[in-house]
């Protein structure tokens, strides 16, 4: 893959596969396809600091998700953070937001820093900071859209989650701040490392632990999640279509 259009074609294929197979990894893929469309439109409008470089970043970034998905499909083992997300996607007990955040966890907190470093290979990483933040902002914006409209697929979410009384911080606000701070810190560590393979393993272990906390939240929040889950839509394809329609066109 060398262009954003090629990325979108691949994401279209994954969305179609997930819809046909009733795979919940489609929830994240639908959201991520929206991010990629926004980036494409932003490049065409000349909105980034370096639009040509942004396309390179977007392709390298997307390739990490697409490669992980293909590895999982073929029976190989992707990174731990992606493995946990894919395994969780086979379980109907998790909420739509849990599936979304597991994908975000793997892709932003691990993959984005690596893609940024690869984009700036042989150059100062600081040069891409603005566009790095812009991708995070786009994703944060789309997650906010979904959270604001989640009652359409999860009717009692908005009624019960306030009962968590602050204990829902990891769950509801998960990974957006990490994406802007921790992920950039990791990008710098990876960029300067003399052993990048080990750097990925170390980071993946940390992000895998965050995934486990999302999959198995503390007892009271876990109890609320089970109640909320009873009323969520069970059709994966219908939920994917609704997630796609929740996000307004802004570019």
| pTM of the model as a whole | 0.89
Q: Does 68 have pLDDT greater than 90?
A: yes
What's the pLDDT score for residue 13?
97
Q: Alpha-carbon distance 11 to 77, whole Å?
A: 20
What's the pLDDT score for residue 118?
96
54 is a domain residue: yes
51 is a domain residue: yes
248 is a domain residue: no
Q: Note whether 194 and 135 are within 8 A (CB).
A: no
Tokens of residue 247, six digits? 């996000």
Q: Note whether 139 and 104 are within 8 A (CB).
A: yes
Q: Does 60 have pLDDT greater than 60?
A: yes
What's the pLDDT score for residue 175?
46
**133-160 tens-digit pLDDT:** 888 778 777 777 777 777 788 888 767 6
What's the pLDDT score for residue 233?
82
Q: Does 214 have pLDDT greater than 70?
A: yes
Number of domains in the chain: 1
Plot region of 222 (φ>0 → left; ψ -120 to 50 → alpha; else → beta): alpha
Q: Alpha-carbon distance 203 to 69, whole Å?
A: 19
The distance between the two most distant Cα atoms of the chain, rounded to a whole number of Å, is: 51
Q: Please choose, from the candidates 22, 64, 74, the residue with its C-alpha nearest in 3D space to the C-alpha of residue 200.
A: 64
**16-54 tens-digit pLDDT:** 999 999 999 999 999 999 989 999 999 999 989 999 999
Q: Alpha-carbon distance 125 to 118, whole Å?
A: 10
250 is a domain residue: no
In this structure, of 66-75, 94-103, 212-221, 241-250, the range with the lowest mean pLDDT score is 241-250
251 is a domain residue: no
198 is a domain residue: yes
What's the pLDDT score for residue 251?
38
Q: What share of the chain is helix, strand, coil (3-state, %, to 5)?
A: 75, 0, 25
17 is a domain residue: yes
Domain containing 36: what range? 4-243
144 is a domain residue: yes
Confidence of residue 169 (pLDDT cuts 50, 70, 90): very low
Q: When comparing pLDDT for 247 and 155, which is higher?
A: 155
Plot region of 84 (φ>0 → left; ψ -120 to 50 → alpha; else → beta): alpha
What's the pLDDT score for residue 139?
77
């Amino acid at each position: 893959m060398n262009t954003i259009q090629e990325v979108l074609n691949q994401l279209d294929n994954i969305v179609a596969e997930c819809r046909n197979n009733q795979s919940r990894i489609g929830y994240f893929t639908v959201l991520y396809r929206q991010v990629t469309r926004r980036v494409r439109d932003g490049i065409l409008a000349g909105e980034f600091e370096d639009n040509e470089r942004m396309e390179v970043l977007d392709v390298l970034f997307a390739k990490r998700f697409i490669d992980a998905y293909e590895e999982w499909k073929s029976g190989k083992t992707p990174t731990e953070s992606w493995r946990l997300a894919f395994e969780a996607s086979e379980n109907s007990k998790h909420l739509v937001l849990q599936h979304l955040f597991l994908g975000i966890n793997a892709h932003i907190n691990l993959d984005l820093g690596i893609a940024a470093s690869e984009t700036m290979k042989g150059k100062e990483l600081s040069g891409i900071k603005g566009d790095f933040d812009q991708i995070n902002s786009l994703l944060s914006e789309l997650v906010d859209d979904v959270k604001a409209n989640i009652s359409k697929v999860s009717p009692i979410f908005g009624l019960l989650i306030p009962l968590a009384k602050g204990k829902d911080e990891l769950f509801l606000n998960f990974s957006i701040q990490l994406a802007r701070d921790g992920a950039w810190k990791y990008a710098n560590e990876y960029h300067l490392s003399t052993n990048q393979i080990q750097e990925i393993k170390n980071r993946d272990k940390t992000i895998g632990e965050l995934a486990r906390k999302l999959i198995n939240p503390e007892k009271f929040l876990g109890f609320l999640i089970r109640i909320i889950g009873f009323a969520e839509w069970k059709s994966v394809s219908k939920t994917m279509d609704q997630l796609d329609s929740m996000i307004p066109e802004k570019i």
